[in-house]
Amino acid sequence: MSKILIETYRGFDIEFDTNCEKFQCICTEESAKESTSFTAVKKFVDEYKKTNQDFKPFWVEPTPDGYKGSKLKVIGVRKDGRFVAENSKGEKNKISDYDLDGYMIFKPENEMALNKLAEQREKEEKQRVENNETRKLIISEINITTLKEYKKSLQ
Protein backbone atom coordinates (compact mmCIF):
# COMPACT_ATOMS: atom_id res chain seq x y z
CA MET A 1 0.00 0.00 0.00
CA SER A 2 1.90 3.02 -1.22
CA LYS A 3 -0.82 5.70 -1.68
CA ILE A 4 -3.70 6.59 0.63
CA LEU A 5 -6.50 8.90 -0.48
CA ILE A 6 -6.70 11.69 2.09
CA GLU A 7 -9.31 13.97 0.56
CA THR A 8 -10.97 14.95 -2.69
CA TYR A 9 -10.45 18.69 -2.60
CA ARG A 10 -12.30 20.85 -5.15
CA GLY A 11 -12.54 17.88 -7.50
CA PHE A 12 -8.93 16.69 -7.20
CA ASP A 13 -7.67 13.73 -5.17
CA ILE A 14 -5.01 14.47 -2.59
CA GLU A 15 -3.12 11.31 -1.65
CA PHE A 16 -0.39 10.48 0.83
CA ASP A 17 2.47 8.42 -0.57
CA THR A 18 3.72 6.21 2.25
CA ASN A 19 6.94 5.35 0.39
CA CYS A 20 8.27 8.91 0.20
CA GLU A 21 6.02 10.27 3.02
CA LYS A 22 4.65 13.15 0.96
CA PHE A 23 1.25 14.45 -0.05
CA GLN A 24 0.55 14.37 -3.78
CA CYS A 25 -2.01 15.82 -6.13
CA ILE A 26 -2.10 15.45 -9.89
CA CYS A 27 -4.31 18.00 -11.65
CA THR A 28 -3.06 17.20 -15.16
CA GLU A 29 -0.01 15.42 -16.51
CA GLU A 30 1.78 18.79 -16.61
CA SER A 31 0.43 20.07 -13.28
CA ALA A 32 1.21 18.05 -10.19
CA LYS A 33 2.35 18.85 -6.66
CA GLU A 34 4.26 16.81 -4.13
CA SER A 35 4.96 18.18 -0.66
CA THR A 36 5.35 17.19 2.96
CA SER A 37 2.73 19.85 3.74
CA PHE A 38 -0.95 19.05 3.19
CA THR A 39 -1.75 22.78 3.21
CA ALA A 40 0.77 23.44 0.43
CA VAL A 41 -0.92 20.84 -1.76
CA LYS A 42 -4.35 22.37 -1.10
CA LYS A 43 -2.97 25.81 -1.95
CA PHE A 44 -1.59 24.38 -5.21
CA VAL A 45 -5.08 23.11 -6.10
CA ASP A 46 -6.57 26.54 -5.29
CA GLU A 47 -4.04 28.27 -7.53
CA TYR A 48 -4.55 25.71 -10.30
CA LYS A 49 -8.33 26.23 -10.20
CA LYS A 50 -7.88 30.00 -10.13
CA THR A 51 -5.58 30.15 -13.17
CA ASN A 52 -7.40 27.52 -15.24
CA GLN A 53 -10.95 28.54 -14.55
CA ASP A 54 -12.71 29.87 -17.64
CA PHE A 55 -15.55 31.81 -16.03
CA LYS A 56 -17.72 34.07 -18.15
CA PRO A 57 -19.79 36.64 -16.25
CA PHE A 58 -23.56 36.44 -16.69
CA TRP A 59 -26.66 38.32 -15.58
CA VAL A 60 -29.35 37.15 -13.17
CA GLU A 61 -32.59 38.79 -12.13
CA PRO A 62 -35.09 38.14 -9.36
CA THR A 63 -37.61 35.39 -9.98
CA PRO A 64 -41.17 36.66 -10.51
CA ASP A 65 -42.30 35.27 -7.14
CA GLY A 66 -39.05 36.14 -5.40
CA TYR A 67 -38.35 38.91 -2.94
CA LYS A 68 -34.98 40.01 -4.33
CA GLY A 69 -34.80 43.50 -5.72
CA SER A 70 -32.51 44.02 -8.66
CA LYS A 71 -30.61 42.55 -11.57
CA LEU A 72 -27.07 41.34 -10.73
CA LYS A 73 -23.99 40.50 -12.75
CA VAL A 74 -22.42 37.24 -11.52
CA ILE A 75 -18.69 37.79 -11.85
CA GLY A 76 -17.12 34.74 -10.22
CA VAL A 77 -17.24 31.68 -8.01
CA ARG A 78 -15.61 31.57 -4.58
CA LYS A 79 -13.57 28.65 -3.25
CA ASP A 80 -16.61 27.48 -1.27
CA GLY A 81 -18.67 27.36 -4.49
CA ARG A 82 -20.80 30.44 -3.82
CA PHE A 83 -21.34 32.97 -6.61
CA VAL A 84 -19.95 36.49 -6.36
CA ALA A 85 -22.19 39.14 -7.88
CA GLU A 86 -21.99 42.84 -8.57
CA ASN A 87 -24.98 45.18 -8.31
CA SER A 88 -25.68 48.30 -10.37
CA LYS A 89 -23.62 50.41 -7.92
CA GLY A 90 -20.58 48.17 -8.44
CA GLU A 91 -20.82 46.66 -4.94
CA LYS A 92 -19.75 43.03 -4.74
CA ASN A 93 -21.64 40.49 -2.65
CA LYS A 94 -21.84 36.74 -2.40
CA ILE A 95 -25.07 34.97 -3.24
CA SER A 96 -25.78 32.51 -0.46
CA ASP A 97 -27.05 29.00 -1.15
CA TYR A 98 -30.32 30.05 0.51
CA ASP A 99 -30.84 32.81 -2.09
CA LEU A 100 -30.11 30.73 -5.22
CA ASP A 101 -33.81 30.04 -5.79
CA GLY A 102 -34.52 33.78 -5.64
CA TYR A 103 -32.68 34.48 -8.90
CA MET A 104 -33.04 33.30 -12.48
CA ILE A 105 -30.70 33.56 -15.45
CA PHE A 106 -31.49 36.67 -17.49
CA LYS A 107 -33.03 35.76 -20.84
CA PRO A 108 -34.17 38.47 -23.30
CA GLU A 109 -37.10 36.30 -24.42
CA ASN A 110 -38.62 36.69 -20.93
CA GLU A 111 -38.80 40.49 -21.26
CA MET A 112 -42.34 40.65 -22.69
CA ALA A 113 -43.82 38.32 -20.08
CA LEU A 114 -42.01 40.17 -17.26
CA ASN A 115 -43.39 43.49 -18.53
CA LYS A 116 -46.91 42.02 -18.54
CA LEU A 117 -46.34 40.81 -14.99
CA ALA A 118 -45.20 44.29 -13.91
CA GLU A 119 -48.34 45.82 -15.47
CA GLN A 120 -50.51 43.27 -13.66
CA ARG A 121 -48.84 44.12 -10.34
CA GLU A 122 -49.48 47.83 -10.96
CA LYS A 123 -53.18 47.11 -11.61
CA GLU A 124 -53.36 45.01 -8.44
CA GLU A 125 -51.76 47.81 -6.40
CA LYS A 126 -54.18 50.37 -7.86
CA GLN A 127 -57.11 48.07 -7.03
CA ARG A 128 -55.79 47.57 -3.49
CA VAL A 129 -55.66 51.35 -2.95
CA GLU A 130 -59.20 51.72 -4.29
CA ASN A 131 -60.42 48.90 -2.02
CA ASN A 132 -58.82 50.55 1.02
CA GLU A 133 -60.47 53.88 0.20
CA THR A 134 -63.86 52.19 -0.24
CA ARG A 135 -63.42 50.31 3.04
CA LYS A 136 -62.55 53.56 4.88
CA LEU A 137 -65.61 55.28 3.37
CA ILE A 138 -67.91 52.46 4.53
CA ILE A 139 -66.35 52.49 8.00
CA SER A 140 -66.89 56.27 8.22
CA GLU A 141 -70.66 55.67 7.79
CA ILE A 142 -70.79 53.39 10.84
CA ASN A 143 -71.80 54.99 14.13
CA ILE A 144 -69.12 53.58 16.43
CA THR A 145 -69.22 53.82 20.19
CA THR A 146 -66.26 52.00 21.66
CA LEU A 147 -66.47 50.17 24.93
CA LYS A 148 -64.01 52.68 26.39
CA GLU A 149 -66.31 55.58 25.46
CA TYR A 150 -69.32 53.71 26.83
CA LYS A 151 -67.55 53.06 30.15
CA LYS A 152 -66.78 56.79 30.47
CA SER A 153 -70.44 57.64 29.93
CA LEU A 154 -71.45 55.36 32.80
CA GLN A 155 -69.33 57.25 35.31
pLDDT in tens, 98-151: 888 889 999 999 989 989 998 999 999 999 999 999 999 999 999 999 999 999
Give the chain as a 3 state SS string: CCEEEEEEECCEEEEEECCCCEEEEECCCCCEEEECCHHHHHHHHHHHHHHHCCCCCEEEEECCCCCCCCCEEEEEECCCCCEEEECCCCCEEEECHHHHHHEEECCHHHHHHHHHHHHHHHHHHHHHHHHHHHHHHHHHCCCCCCHHHHHHHHC
pLDDT of residue 1: 58
What is the pTM (predicted TM-score) of this model?
0.54
